Amino acid sequence: LSNVLETPAAGFNFDNTARNAALEGLFDGGLTPKPLKTGTTIAGVVYKDGVVLGADTRATSSEVVADKMCAKIHFISPNIYCCGAGTAADTEKTTDILSSNLSIFSLNSGRNPRVVMAVNILQEMLYRYHGQIGANLILGGVDCTGNHLYTVGPYGSVDK
């Protein structure tokens, strides 16, 4: 019990290597199953001067690689970008609609949109379809109120 309650030390922990070596002998072939990479990797980081978004470029359909150079970082407005994971067509169309709405706002007002405005539009759009749009998004941008990074789920849930 004392091991569980101890605060982990800083740095890397290699305790699982002994466990993995012990588990290898339990399988018939003597080898553990190979890991299978599926899905999309998207990430965002806020720092004092801005926001950095990153994504992989591989589009998969179960275990088959459908496209090796899929663009997953979408332009929303000059100060806002979005990373998308999920159904490629849904993320593409959702970000296109958002970009169009914010372009109309910019043309009417002469100002760049705020990041929270983009998040609210996304939230309302995705909530309306109750998860039928398979888009998981990370929206990041810089506006007059600072640097912002949000995640928006397919049901319209938002985390800052």
Residue 33 — very low, low, confident or very high, per pLDDT cuts 50/70/90?
A: low
**H helical segments located in 73-151:** 88-109, 115-128
**Residue-wise pLDDT tens digits, 118-147:** 999 999 999 999 999 999 999 999 999 999
Read off the CATH number of the domain in which 137 is found: 3.60.20.10
pLDDT at position 19: 73
CB 32 within 8 A of CB 23: yes
* Structural domain contains residue 85: yes
pLDDT at position 63: 74
Domains identified in the chain, total number: 1
Domain assignment of residue 65, given as a range: 42-159
List all residues 6 or more positions away from 126 whose beta carbon is below 8 Å from its beta carbon.
Answer: 94, 133, 135, 152, 153, 154, 155, 156
Quick one: what percent of the chain has pLDDT higher than 90?
62
Tokens 């600072």 belong to 146
* Structural domain contains residue 13: no
Task: Report which secondary-structure segment, H or E, holds 144.
Answer: none
Catalytic residues: 40
Higher pLDDT, 153 or 7: 153
* Structural domain contains residue 52: yes
Structure tokens at 96: 């296109």
